[in-house]
Amino acid sequence: IISQITTGEISLLSLQNDIKLANNRFRSSVLEQLNNNAEQLEQLRRERLENRGQLELLRNKIKANSVLSPTNGIILSIERSFEKGSYVENSQPVMTIKKSNESKVIDARILAKYRPFIFMGTTAKITVNSPGYKKTLSGEITRISADSFSDDEKNGAERYYKVEIKPDDKIIVPPELEGVQVNVYALSKKVTLLNYITALVGDNIVFNVW
């Protein structure tokens, strides 16, 4: 009986030792897995931050290289094909867009020497260069370019400002007049006879006293 008890105690101790070893191995495995998961989670967090930074950088690049159209409409023609890294100069034509709304605008040129006499809201009279249309339209200046441009037709001898004129709302401009050349007369209330005369006098004229 004593021998059987001793054998049973030994078996119990061996079983307890096996359980303890298995428990230790399980704990070690769980801790190792947790450490691996923590490292993977930290790695994923770093990659997420890097990806967010790259995404923000790409968004800024897209914004910096985007050309916003001044109006909504349909693209009629593309002036030239731009490749990656192409440089667009100031006032360089990119594409021709037809406005989607029904309102009409008139693009005009005002010589640089008359720029002091025009302003936003200046009344303008428009005559159409067409034998079949004799009416004189009225409107107002709605936009004036910030910079002047060299007139290539005059070999750069003159400069002009781009002006946008909107016809009065009560005036209906027929569709067939789109693209027709017109003459524009700006009626400025700020010009005096002396201003007009001095504007016509060139800068290279020297007045001497005799």
Mean of the per-residue pLDDT values of the chain? 77
Burial class from Cβ neighbours inside 10 Å (0-12, 13-18, 19+) for residue 149 reads middle
Average pLDDT over residues 14-33: 86
Six-digit token string for 188: 């400025």
Measured CA to CA, the distance from residue 193 to residue 40 in angstroms comes to 82
Flag whether pLDDT at 102 surpasses 70: no
**Would you say 122 and 185 are in contact if contact means Cβ atoms under 8 Å apart?**
no
Six-digit token string for 90: 């100031």
**Which tens digits make up the pLDDT trace of 47-66?**
998 999 899 988 888 777 77
Pairwise pLDDT comparison (54 vs 9), residue with the higher score: 54
Measured CA to CA, the distance from residue 96 to residue 85 in angstroms comes to 22
- Confidence band of 8 (pLDDT split at 50, 70, 90): low
**Shortest CA distance to 129 belongs to which of 176, 180, 74?**
180
* Residue 103: partners with Cβ closer than 8 Å, 6 or more residues away: 166
Distance of CA 144 to the CA centre of its chain: 20
Q: Tell me the residue type at 99.
A: K
Residue written as token pair 């897209």? 62
